[in-house]
A and B are shown apart, each in its own frame.
Chain A
Amino acid sequence: MTLVPPGTPGSTAPTAGSSSADGHRRVLAQIDVACRFPVILLFSGALLWLAVGTALALVSFVELHAGEVLANCAWLAYGRVRPAAWNSVIYGFASQAGLGVALWIICRLGRVSLVGAAASGTAALFWNLGVCVGVIGILAGYSTGLEGLEMPGYVGPILFLAYLPIAVGALVTFHARQERGLYVSHWFLLAGLFWFPWIYSTAHLLLVCKPVRGAAQIVINGWFLNNLRELWLTPLGLAAVFYFLPKLVQRPLHSRYLAMFTFWLLVLSGSWGGLSIGLPLPRWITALSTAASLGMLLPVLAVAVNCYRTWRAGACAKPCSPALSFILGGTASYVLAGFLRAADAFAPVHDITRLTCFAEAYGLLTSFGFVTMVFAGAIYLVLPRLTRQGWAAPALVKAHWLLTIFGLALGTLALAVGGVLQGLALNDPAVAFDQVSRTTAPFLRAASLAVLLLALGHVAFLYNLSWTLIRWLRCAVPMRALLVAESEPATGGVNS
């Protein structure tokens, strides 16, 4: 039974004094060198898209209460900017950062060098190319009109083909692992890597390439959107949480069985949600889906208990490292978003919150809270290990965290309260629709301010990463060393 990620101080006690500890560190260093070409590329692309996505999200929020601002610019119409922002954040940032973190965790847990690093790195470039073409396509008016799949149809194959070398490299590396035991994070990573191509190809084939007729599109689109969140982004995020949290607090994970409970309930309940009561669909579909959405409360609670007890048993008396602050913030966002989502699935609440901005509150918490903070924490921890250098501007890390926390708190509160008030007004036919808009407007302004704070934080993050990488490339490692390192065969020392 493996409760502590291998590599955690104390988990793999050196057996032969300092020379063994040095050997251990050398092994880890060589593993890092072997995987840094694709991982750094994935992280860099991810952060660029995070900044672009948040800036576009800011434009879309501002347009909700200042409609005159960009009235003459077709490329920045609200209905184009909003999906462009979403796609930038989900496919550009979250998926790339998640893949980068997954590659690093698989190498570290397995004590093995990454297989096919050059192919993964090249694929990362193609992934970025695909996202770039897709986002420009949306802004130019070539959206497919399907939520979550807005990028023009020809982008799907690019993303799929770019994904395959990265995922295959990860799985072959996993297969070649030297540490044969499976850690909790392995389950979640395998789930995410396995599910994404299935759900993406299904949705792309049945909605974009050869669209099914009528309301079946609503069901498949809802299934895809839900699974993209619950079975792609969530497993990657939770794998990172279960790996980095014990590592950072230097204590074993509280309960492997609770993590197992989380895992199986996530794959069982998570794959059925997303189609709420009230949609123009047969009742059995929405009833089943709503029950599954309510069932998601259990894995969320299990994550909350497991993480809280792990953290409390560890370093709660010590000051939090920046990475730990982000991981904890991300975990808290996941739990809060889970509660809000379950509340929204509860019929009496859903009658009020349906079709309002309430859903945006937990959407914001999931994308800019859980996913972004967990991967940001992971990047803050991993990048110095890859470059053998600290961050160029440590003060900006603190600023990033504060801006994110304040932005998330303000945005979630504004959108949740605004959503409830909007729903109550919408449900009262005596309230004219313009009055409903006026009721919501102050909350949308507050949400715009929140997204501005988030955008500033993400720009600080991008600046810090860029400056760190520039400094590293200038003074430490020539670029070709990245490629040379990849071509070196794994030594016996690496796999000790």
Chain B
Amino acid sequence: MNRVSFIFVGLLCTLAVSWWGLVLVPQFHLGSQQPVAVPGSSQTYPAPRLGLATRGQEVYRANGCFYCHTQQVRATGLAPEFQTTNAIVRYLGADIERGWGQRLSVARDYLRDQPVMIGSRRVGPDLTNIGMRRPNDPVQANLLWHLRHLYDPPSVAEGSAMPAHRFLFDQRRVQPGQSVNTNELAWVDLDTRLEIVPKPEAVALAFYLFSLEVNVPLYEAPLPAPPGVTADLSASAAPLGNGPVP
């Protein structure tokens, strides 16, 4: 290999092939994906993120939450159960059993994300479906849970190793006789007698987290049916699957 031209052409070809294979073709393949209609609804999936949740996504990005939290649910396999001519698809894997999601994550789930922050390490739990973890609580209670968790993680999640994000909050000393909780998302820390008022960034982040949910069946990732309901294997007929994971 004593000829520079030979090395140069070799390098050009190898990089061009790699660029073609892992940049151009995936862009043609994945870049052409479109949102799909939600069965039984006029909405599309993934839905555009709106309002405070969009701002919250920027807070999530700025503070690098994705270095500890993933947004990708794994499934180790499928276990179809056939019942006469119908089948229920059950996903296998610890992520599903932990309740981190109802189905595995697929490329189409990230169509509206900018940037896509799927994460590569689970120091904390997966957040794909964090907006659906407390389905019975009202919105206000969900938001408050997230805010308290951001302020003092172990106070709402026992044993949490997450660093506290107190810089997202204002702390005000409560004076005797002073009215508190003027902000409905604020609270008083009884130990320190401080009124904890979330900054707009914290509220936006809580809205973003609450907006994270993957609960729509796709052709490439159908949802398991609620107990007692059978479903066709085709996604178009798959139920929304709001019930617990079988």
A212 interface residue per 8 A CB criterion: yes
A414 and B149 alpha carbons, distance in the complex (Å): 29
A229 interface residue per 8 A CB criterion: no
Partner of A146, one of B65, B109, B115, B162: B115
Residue-wise interface mask of A (145-174) relative to B, using a CB-CB cutoff of 8 A (1 in contact, 0 not):
111000000000000000000000000000
Cross-chain contact A281 with B107 (CB below 8 angstroms): yes
Cross-chain contact B64 with A191 (CB below 8 angstroms): no
Interface-located stretch among A79-87, A313-321, A452-460, A472-480: A79-87
Partner of B68, one of A72, A78, A222, A441: A78
Cross-chain contact A187 with B7 (CB below 8 angstroms): yes
A356 interface residue per 8 A CB criterion: yes
Interface centre among B30, B74, B112, B118 (most CB of A within 10 A): B30
The A/B interface has a contact count, at CB < 8 Å, of 221
Question: What distance in Å separates the Cβ of A415 from its nearest Cβ neighbour in chain B?
Answer: 11
Residues of B in contact, count (CB < 8 Å) = 73
Q: Which residue of B lies closest to A422 (CB)?
A: B122
Partner of A280, one of B68, B98, B110, B121: B110
B104 interface residue per 8 A CB criterion: yes
Question: What distance in Å separates the Cβ of B108 from its nearest Cβ neighbour in chain A?
Answer: 7
Q: Which residues of B contact A282 (CB under 8 A)?
A: 26, 29-30, 107
Cross-chain contact B110 with A215 (CB below 8 angstroms): yes
Partner of B98, one of A69, A72, A222, A433: A433
Q: Which residues of A contact B15 (CB under 8 A)?
A: 194-195, 198, 231, 267, 271
A280 and B74 alpha carbons, distance in the complex (Å): 8
A260 interface residue per 8 A CB criterion: yes
Query: Taking A275-B22, A427-B94 as contacts, is the C-beta distance between A190 and B65 under 8 angstroms?
Result: no
Cross-chain contact B67 with A271 (CB below 8 angstroms): no
Residue-wise interface mask of B (52-74) relative to A, using a CB-CB cutoff of 8 A (1 in contact, 0 not):
00000000011111111010101
Partner of B1, one of A72, A182, A195: A182
Cross-chain contact A143 with B18 (CB below 8 angstroms): no
Query: Taking A194-B11, A280-B110 as contacts, is the C-beta distance between A215 and B22 under 8 angstroms?
Result: no
Question: What distance in Å separates the Cβ of B110 from its nearest Cβ neighbour in chain A?
Answer: 5
Q: Which residues of B contact A187 (CB under 8 A)?
A: 1, 7
Interface-located stretch among B140-148, B153-161, B180-188, B233-241: B153-161
Question: What distance in Å separates the Cβ of A421 from its nearest Cβ neighbour in chain B?
Answer: 13
Query: Taking A217-B115, A272-B22 as contacts, is the C-beta distance between A355 and B163 under 8 angstroms?
Result: no
Q: Which residues of A contact B158 (CB under 8 A)?
A: 434
A64 interface residue per 8 A CB criterion: yes
Query: Taking A67-B163, A77-B64, A145-B66 as contacts, is the C-beta distance between A190 and B23 under 8 angstroms?
Result: no
- Having A83-B67, A217-B116, A278-B72, one finds 7 other A-B pairs with CB under 8 Å, namely A68-B163, A145-B64, A214-B111, A215-B30, A272-B18, A272-B22, A428-B94
Give residues in A with beta carbon < 8 Å to B. 63-65, 67-74, 77-80, 82-83, 141-147, 181-182, 187, 190-191, 194-195, 198, 202, 206-207, 211-223, 227, 231, 260, 263-264, 267-268, 271-272, 275, 278-282, 285, 288-289, 351, 354-357, 359-360, 422, 426-429, 432-435, 437-438, 440-441
